[in-house]
Structure 1
């Protein structure tokens, strides 16, 4: 890992010579910046971007330099590159980006060795495997989805075919010189999307580091812009850099566009005008070299001069032998490089097999954990049902208790009212009783006085009125004793 200054800020890159993107970032300070300029030209501020196959984050960070973005989601499947992506986005995220997220995941169907890109192979499987639909649910929706996954673009979109039929946004897809790109185009056209082809140089002449010589002179990258009713435009600045924009309506048109796109030209063509490059290309195709050009003599020289012809032939043979030696040395170097790459490939395959074993173990462990989780969820659901029943029962008890307390409070209030009324009635009864007692005493005194008066009246009058009758009665009954007592009571013992 190495940290360098680039157009996008201070980036961490791979410290490997066979990593193309890292090599370009070190030399030119940028990678395919024309791509970011073209996309930014055709977006509005506030766009939401998904960068699937983000590598070290140059595409998303380049867009953020040119547009205000609401969100940026960078997805990278290679665990060797993902730490660099996460660091680069976190450290260099400009204020123009509302929310930036990095995800270590493989999007779409799993492809053998899908983590290998630009000579960098992962030392472990990607952390997760997600579909494009799951990515949209978790981090979307997106206004533009860029997919650059080294050839799996077709499989990713086929897996999300239902969304492709009604997609309201934009797809920006890597387009390589393979039959799969023709199938990808047909899938887009069959689903009613308008497709445009954009080709751009990997290293611009006015690059960030102002480096003039190009590693891949006239080396172009290509992509497909797919949307409904949103044709892209290309400004004059990109046109001056040699970028190409075409509408594509069939596989044959795409085939022709790819055929006419320069991929890599000899270094000798660098720095020449268009007409000069046409002349040099024609002479190269005819096998002519500048050293041989007009080198056999002047106009006065005789064309059948055998010595001159022999010298020219000998010089040509010497140059060819020199070229053969150079090519032999290059072949030996390439053979050695191929052997090293084969060794790296074998080591990577061994690591891949080990990773597959680890992945199988992790999947088995994940399945066991999933089963345990499902059981735990079942127990949780049962517990929730029991808890709901207990809560309902507790609610009923609480309602009954509240009703009982209300009845108790009512009864206590009624009892208090009755007690007050009883106390009031008792006081009234006590007053009435006192009055009755007083009246009773008065009546008693009156009765006693009356009785005394009656007795006086009785004793004064009753004897005169009733004595003869009482005497007569006793005589009739023969009650002599009673007669004697009566007479004694009235007239004394005599």
Structure 2
């Protein structure tokens, strides 16, 4: 497909086969709030930027519209997307640039076969379990590390990574350089356990780290369509080593973007937990209080047609009190079970230490030691039950 967009005339996959293509057709853009935020993070005009996982080029081309860049490097592994990327960059990028068809990874790995979700070509990854519904992407592209790209294209002020779960291994392979903080990193952050592994590594570098999340739908999009495809869907990323602390512009605040410093794994877990990922279409455009009210009715299993019927005896207050008590009861039960298990483990550890001490003192099993071991084993079995 080819249409005019915020970035100029762009080639991209059929909308039925890709999420980003749906947004380009409907709104003429993808993730514009992300571009606006990162543009403000760049230290100055004349920055050098590397866009890894560029797909059809929306991030890099958008950034070049917001800031006067010195150089823009695009890297894409999917051969179908790479062909479109080359045309889009040639048509719309007026600054010094380079497009590299390559898989960014670590030496010695086999990345030849990748896959994408059946309706999202932009999700192509080269290191995950393939599902029956996945599209297979075969790539004969070169395998390069960030170190090799830096040597090939020169140093960068900013590296953006959107590589479908390969972020950690790519960054670790170049940790000796990146941990110095000379280059700012902007990397995708999804709701997976892998994001906690990633943040654990980044925090070990002792550099400033921030979480930024933004609505997938920009209400001030290029085509002016205010109806979201996916209400309350947010995208998120981690920003490492910005040269100055980031902040939200008035427009990003108005768009309900989220910015939080990350100082621990728990900080990230909490940020992801409190980031919207989905909502009902009927909630769109409502005030916060109205959304809370509708979510509360849904939680109580209530529906509007039966609301306030004469045969409904329970009041709203009693319904909420019952629900609150049930939730507190369930939380209390879980806390009690956790505390009991921890006490049992502590007691077992103490007994084990005592048994080892007895064995060490006697040099061999005495009848006393054997009896204690039997009791200890019985205790283990009871705790397991």
User: Which TM-score band (shorter chain)?
Assistant: 0.7 to 0.9
CA positional deviation for 1:186: 1.3
Paired positions, count: 295
Contact 2:216 2:235 survives alignment (8 Å)? yes
**Which string of whole-angstrom CA distances, capped at 9 and with x for unpartnered residues, describes residues 367-424 of structure 1?**
xxxxxxxxxxxxxxxxxxxxxxxxxxxxxxxxxxxxxxxxxxxxxxxxxxxxxxxxxx
Is residue 19 of structure 2 the alignment partner of residue 5 of structure 1?
A: no
TM-score (norm 1): 0.58
Partner of 1:154: 168
The SS at the match of 1:287 is: coil
Q: Distance in 2 between matches of 1:126 and 1:172?
A: 27
If you compute each CA radius of gyration, which structure gives the higher value, 1 or 2? 1
**Which string of whole-angstrom CA distances, capped at 9 and with x for unpartnered residues, describes residues 435-472 of structure 1?**
xxxxxxxxxxxxxxxxxxxxxxxxxxxxxxxxxxxxxx
CA positional deviation for 1:222: 0.4
Partner of 2:185: 171
Partner of 1:128: 142
- Distance verdict in 2 for CA 1:29–1:16, change over 3 Å: closer
Q: Which has the higher helix share?
A: 1
Partner of 2:120: 119
The SS at the match of 2:17 is: coil
Partner of 1:49: 49
- Distance verdict in 2 for CA 1:25–1:230, change over 3 Å: same
**Which string of whole-angstrom CA distances, capped at 9 and with x for unpartnered residues, describes residues 83-125 of structure 1?**
111111110114xx3x111110000134475453663346531
Partner of 2:371: none
Partner of 1:139: 153
Contact 1:78 1:126 survives alignment (8 Å)? no
* CA RMSD across the alignment: 1.8
**205-214 vs 25-34, greater mean Cα deviation:** 205-214
Partner of 1:107: 104
Partner of 1:24: 23
Unaligned runs of 5+ in 2: 122-134, 314-385
Q: Distance in 2 between matches of 1:85 and 1:56?
A: 4
Partner of 1:93: 93
Contact 1:198 1:244 survives alignment (8 Å)? yes
**Which string of whole-angstrom CA distances, capped at 9 and with x for unpartnered residues, describes residues 465-486 of structure 1?**
xxxxxxxxxxxxxxxxxxxxxx
The SS at the match of 1:34 is: helix
Q: Distance in 2 between matches of 1:101 and 1:216?
A: 34
The SS at the match of 2:99 is: strand
Q: Distance in 2 between matches of 1:269 and 1:16?
A: 26
Contact 1:77 1:115 survives alignment (8 Å)? no
Partner of 2:204: 190
Is residue 58 of structure 2 the alignment partner of residue 58 of structure 1?
A: yes
CA positional deviation for 1:273: 1.0
Partner of 1:230: 244
Q: Distance in 2 between matches of 1:243 and 1:275?
A: 18
Partner of 1:83: 83
Partner of 2:32: 33
The SS at the match of 2:179 is: helix
Contact 1:145 1:171 survives alignment (8 Å)? yes
CA positional deviation for 1:25: 0.7
The match for 1:267 among 254, 272, 281 is 281
CA positional deviation for 1:236: 1.0
Contact 1:201 1:220 survives alignment (8 Å)? yes
Q: Distance in 2 between matches of 1:236 and 1:143?
A: 25
Q: Which has the higher strand share?
A: 2
Is residue 213 of structure 2 the alignment partner of residue 216 of structure 1?
A: no
Unaligned runs of 5+ in 1: 305-494
